[in-house]
Amino acid sequence: MTAIAWIDAALRGARPQAMAALLRNFRDLDLAEEAFQEACLRALRNWPSQGPPRDPAAWLIFVGRNAALDGVRRRRSERPLPPEEVLSNLEDAERSLAEQLDDATYRDDILRLLFICCDPELPATQQIALALRIVCGLSVKQIARAFLVGESAMEQRITRAKSRVAGAEVPFEPPGAVERAERVAAVATVIYLMFNEGYSATGSSAHVRASLCEEAIRLARLLLRLFPGDPEILGLTALLLLQHSRSAARLDPDGAIVLLEDQNRALWDRELVAEGIALLDKAMRHRHPGTYQLQAAIAAVHSRAAHAGDTDWPQIEVLYAGIERLEPSPVVSLNRAVAASKVRGPAAALEIVEPLAKELSGYFYFFGVRGALLLQLGRADEARVAFDRALALANSPAEAAHIRMQIDRLMKPND
Amino acid sequence: MLYAILCYDSEAAVGSWTKEQDAAAIAKLDVVQEKLAREGRLGPVARLMPTTAATTLRKGKETIVLDGPFAETKEALLGFFVVECASLEKAVETAKDLGRASSSTGSYEIRPLRLFRPGNLKT
């Protein structure tokens, strides 16, 4: 790896911690960002010749803080602080700072940094964009590309989101246990949504948007390092890893979605699968199930099946029933119906599907599933009506193609 | 003498490598390992999952099971090589070869092995 590449990786890795500490210091997002940028510039100047500091985050915080203070002093025409060429070798200064960072405050700092991006007043896409900009350090251009919008439009969105966040006072005292748990849950939701933004992409946009999945996984890992014993954060991280393990198999060369049962399982990333399952195993030891854990468990059932035919559908039905109990939703019930059809046949599944008609009258998957079940039961005319309705409800050509493919697939009897 | 060469680095930094960077780093390390293997000096090699996948058991009157690594450190143990080296000098040289190949920021800890059972696991 070239010097610039490892410095870049070190800066990216240290960013959340450094930004979080600088934010606590300055209590201002823009000032913190400026200080961090300045520290990065100095790192790029000094690290290649001096070698990396032992603790890059501590170095960046120290230098960023001094750079900002320097600016203040210069304005007051006082004497500047010693330059960072000297500082990087001042082990003591670094160590004392590093010790402070080991404190629990450091955990709450990073959580706060993540949390301010999750302002519920902001639309989800803006929360995601803000997190990508502030925590992950992606450029506006990169984020614009990931969201398939123009750079200036994204710039405006982020600026608006930032000023909104600056106005919302997030207290700097350490949060109480309940508040902390709420913050963790809010952050987890945004990470989940960020992943889905990237995951739902098809066609030519899929490759560009894959970066969203990778950033989401990085954030999930970060959150997990802060809360290593939180079963739902373990579950969330496991879920993202297991889903992402299939990324090479889930799109065909034209960028169309390949259904799970048709995927070439040899293309699944076994390292990610193994890590996802390891995290899920840890989560389950807590005997405190949650929806992320259950979703991850469903993903793991698929991961464990060497062939689609080996899938443990009874287990999947049980897991969907678990999600239904925790967070009842007609979409989850629909998913359980699909599992039930594999276990107990189309009639049993249709019994689950029919009562959902009213709530899911605008949901194209509902009609796709319903149509397939009707077809399996030999009720072809009713099936046709459901399929037509499904196609009319598809939101994009990719979705239409997807549902058509799903329909084609399910039209084969007893598959 | 057998030495374990333990690789430490910041997980945050290594976790920020792109897939391509990660593959490139591994490929470079493979070159060094091939050379060691040709010389008949290479024992087991392991790369560990991130510390988030770790579980720690604290022994005591009652064993306590904790999520996470044994210690919160700046640099985590990422993996290790077991290598036959005639001397510490040689071990240092080998670790330097590995270090030049990966050229990241971490460190290597060289620990002479006291007991070695290669086992019979298949990869």
User: How confident is the model over B3-16, as pLDDT tens digits?
Assistant: 999 999 988 888 88
- Write out the two tokens for A294: 């259950």
- For residue A155, the tally of other CB atoms under 10 A from its CB is 15
Which residue, A291, A51, A29, is CA-closest to A172? A29
Which of B14, B72, B104 has its CB closest to that of A102?
B72
Question: How does DSSP assign A364-380, residue by residue?
Answer: HHHHHHHHHHHHHTT-H
- Chain A residues within 8 A of B16 when measuring between CB atoms: 9-10, 12-13, 218
Q: Give the tens place of pLDDT for each residue, B34-46.
A: 999 999 999 999 9
Mutate to test the interface with B, among A282, A284, A285 (most CBs of B within 10 A): A282
**Has residue A229 got a pLDDT over 70?**
yes
Residue of B nearest to A215 (CA): B16
| Residues facing A257 on adjacent strands | A251
* Cα–Cα distance measured from residue A219 to residue A216, given in angstroms and rounded to the nearest whole number: 5
* Cα–Cα distance measured from residue A285 to residue B121, given in angstroms and rounded to the nearest whole number: 27
- Chain A residues within 8 A of B72 when measuring between CB atoms: 102
What's the pLDDT score for residue A90? Answer: 47
Which residue, A191, A194, A275, A291, is CA-closest to A235? A291
* Cα–Cα distance measured from residue A197 to residue A71, given in angstroms and rounded to the nearest whole number: 40
Which of A55, A229, A237 has its CB closest to that of B67?
A229
* Cα–Cα distance measured from residue A386 to residue A370, given in angstroms and rounded to the nearest whole number: 7
Element (H, E) at B81: strand B76-84
3-class SS shares of chain B: helix, strand, coil, % to 5: 35, 30, 35
- Write out the two tokens for A300: 């793991």
- At A415, the pLDDT band (50, 70, 90 cuts) reads very low
- Chain A residues within 8 A of B52 when measuring between CB atoms: 221, 224-225, 228, 234, 237, 279
B16·A218 Cβ contact <8 A: yes
Q: Give the tens place of pLDDT for each residue, A25-49.
A: 888 888 999 999 999 999 999 998 8
Q: How far is CA B96 from the centre of its chain?
A: 14
* Cα–Cα distance measured from residue B41 to residue A79, given in angstroms and rounded to the nearest whole number: 58
Which residue, A299, A282, A298, is CA-closest to A232? A282
A225·B52 Cβ contact <8 A: yes
Scan for tokens 């230098």, then name that residue: A63
- At A94, the pLDDT band (50, 70, 90 cuts) reads low
Report domain extents, chain B.
Answer: 2-48+75-112
Instruction: Decide if the complex's ipTM is over 0.85.
Output: yes
Q: Stretch A133-153: mean pLDDT, rounded? A: 91
DSSP 8-state symbol, A257 = B
H runs (alpha helix) in A227-357: 231-244, 270-285, 291-304, 313-326, 330-344, 346-353
- Write out the two tokens for B76: 């985590």
- Percent of chain B scoring above 70 in pLDDT: 98
What's the pLDDT score for residue A205? Answer: 75
* Cα–Cα distance measured from residue A340 to residue A173, given in angstroms and rounded to the nearest whole number: 49
- Chain B residues within 8 A of A285 when measuring between CB atoms: 65
Cα dist. A372→A45, A149, A346, A392, B45 in Å? 63, 37, 9, 16, 50
Contacts of A117 (CB under 8 A, 6+ apart): A127, A130, A131, A134, A135, A165, A190
Which A positions 82-101 lie with beta carbon below 8 A of chain B?
A: 98
DSSP 8-state symbol, A395 = S
A9·B11 Cβ contact <8 A: no
CATH fold label, B2-48+75-112: Alpha-Beta Plaits (3.30.70)
- Write out the two tokens for A209: 């948007």
Which of A9, A14, A221 has its CB closest to that of B17?
A9
Least confident of A129-143, A160-174, A318-332: A160-174
CB contacts < 8 A, A to B, total: 77
Q: What is the largest CA-CA distance in chain A?
A: 87
Mean pLDDT for all residues in chain A: 87
- Chain B residues within 8 A of A5 when measuring between CB atoms: 21
* Cα–Cα distance measured from residue A76 to residue A72, given in angstroms and rounded to the nearest whole number: 6
B52·A279 Cβ contact <8 A: yes
**A266 CB near a chain B CB, below 8 Å?**
no
Report domain extents, chain A.
Answer: 3-102, 121-168+176-224, 228-304
What's the pLDDT score for residue A81? Answer: 56
